[in-house]
A and B are shown apart, each in its own frame.
Chain A
Amino acid sequence: SSELTQDPAVSVALGQTVRITCQGDSLRAYFASWYQQKPEQAPVLVIYGKNNRPSGIPDRFSGSSSRNTASLIITGAQAEDEADYYCSSRDNSDNHLRVFGTGTKVTV
């Protein structure tokens, strides 16, 4: 089955830009979706598809993709963006399966 690899942790200064990456072979065929998870809370979808935000997600969140790497970009990070972030996609070997990335802790 596919694996999606993320850096364990990144830090960003308040108001600066941070890029969170997700690498895996399945990303050559499928867009990643991205989830924000704050302590003791359920994950929340922040980006899906090529670069789409659900209603209520601030426009400082954006997504991009190139070859086997998907990126979540936070432009002008705010204190409330401090959280764990997970990517997800379909499995490359069986598109009925789903896989999550290893997760990235973002510190602002």
Chain B
Amino acid sequence: QVQLQESGPGLVKPSETLSLTCTVPGGSISSYYWSWIRQPPGKGLEWIGYISFSESTSYNPSLKSRVTISLDTSKNQFSLKLNSVTAADTAVYYCARDQFIYETNGGGDAFDIWGQGTMVTVSS
């Protein structure tokens, strides 16, 4: 079972850039789509964006102006950068594998593997 691992600073100052990395063991990073998802304390899940194995990206329109997701296949990692952060960006950040799973009775999209999450606090 593939296990994802997020890493990065747990504290970021307002107006600075939040940077996180997700490591994908086993070399499968070149075969799937990879998403970032966040969850503010006590609130629901919010999709941030994804990067594909071909490095195409898609971002949540509400964050698009501040987000960049990139891929480093040599390190089996993908990364998130969120700039100009405010306290509203304080959240647990998850990385997840994003794929369409084919089934004879009707497949579908799924975030089938997740990291354990990393808490990022925006505060001076």
Contact = CB atoms under 8 A, between A and B. Distances in A.
Nearest to A1: B61
Interface stretch (B11-19, B65-73, B81-89, B107-115): B107-115
Contacts of A48: 101, 107-110, 112
Q: Size range of the interface on A?
A: 20 to 34
Interface residues of B, number: 26
Contacts of B44: 86, 100-103
A107 interface: no
Contacts of B112: 45, 48, 54
Interface of B: 35, 37, 44-47, 50, 58, 60-61, 94, 98, 101, 103, 105-112, 114-117
A50 B110 CA distance: 12
Nearest to B48: A98
